[in-house]
Amino acid sequence: MMQNDVVVVGAGISGLSLAYYCVQAGLKTTLLEKGDATGGSFSSPRYGVGGREFWLELGAHTCYSSYQNLLGIVESCGLMASITPRAKVPFSLYRDGQVKSLVSSLNFPELLVSGPKIFSLKKDGQTVKSYYSQIVGQKNYRDVISHFFNAVPSQVTDDFPADMMFKSREKRKDVLKNYTFAEGLQSVARAISAKSGLNVFTGREVVSLREENGQYVVVTADGMEYGAKVLGLALPSAVSSKLLGTVSREIAGHLGLLKAATVDSVGVVIKKENLAMKPVAALISPNDIFFSAVSRDTVPDDSYRGFAFHFRPGLDEKKKMTRICEVLGIGPSRIEKTFTRINTVPSLRLGHHEWHEKIDTLLKGKKNLLLSGNYFGGMAIEDCVSRSKAEFERLGK
Ligand SMILES: Cc1cc2nc3c(=O)[nH]c(=O)nc-3n(C[C@H](O)[C@H](O)[C@H](O)COP(=O)(O)OP(=O)(O)OC[C@H]3O[C@@H](n4cnc5c(N)ncnc54)[C@H](O)[C@@H]3O)c2cc1C
Predicted confidence at residue 103, as pLDDT, reads 86
Q: How far is the CA of 344 from the centre of ligand 1 (A)?
A: 6
Task: Single out the residue of 255, 252, 234, 236 nearest to residue 244, CA to CA.
Answer: 252
Predicted confidence at residue 19, as pLDDT, reads 98
Does the beta carbon of 20 lie inside 6 Å of ligand 1?
no
Predicted confidence at residue 165, as pLDDT, reads 86
CATH code reported for the domain at 260-347: 3.90.660.10
Predicted confidence at residue 397, as pLDDT, reads 75
Looking at ligand 1, which residue's alpha carbon is closest to its atom 13? Answer: 60
pLDDT tens sequence across 356-365: 999 999 999 8
- Taking the CA of residue 42 as reference, the ligand 1 atom at the shortest distance is 21
Asked, colleague to colleague, whether 2-84+175-259+348-396 and 260-347 share their fold, the answer is: no
pTM listed for this prediction: 0.96
Does the beta carbon of 10 lie inside 6 Å of ligand 1?
yes
Q: How far is the CA of 54 from the centre of ligand 1 (A)?
A: 21
- Counting beta carbons within 10 angstroms of the beta carbon of residue 30, is it exposed (0 to 12), middle (13 to 18) or buried (19 or more)? buried
- List the chain domain ranges: 2-84+175-259+348-396, 105-164, 260-347
Q: How far is the CA of 300 from the centre of ligand 1 (A)?
A: 25
What topology is assigned to 2-84+175-259+348-396 in CATH?
FAD/NAD(P)-binding domain (3.50.50)
Q: How far is the CA of 84 from the centre of ligand 1 (A)?
A: 22
Does the beta carbon of 380 lie inside 6 Å of ligand 1?
yes
Q: How far is the CA of 252 from the centre of ligand 1 (A)?
A: 20
Does the beta carbon of 12 lie inside 6 Å of ligand 1?
yes
Counting as low any pLDDT under 70, the low residues of the chain are none
Q: How far is the CA of 263 from the centre of ligand 1 (A)?
A: 11
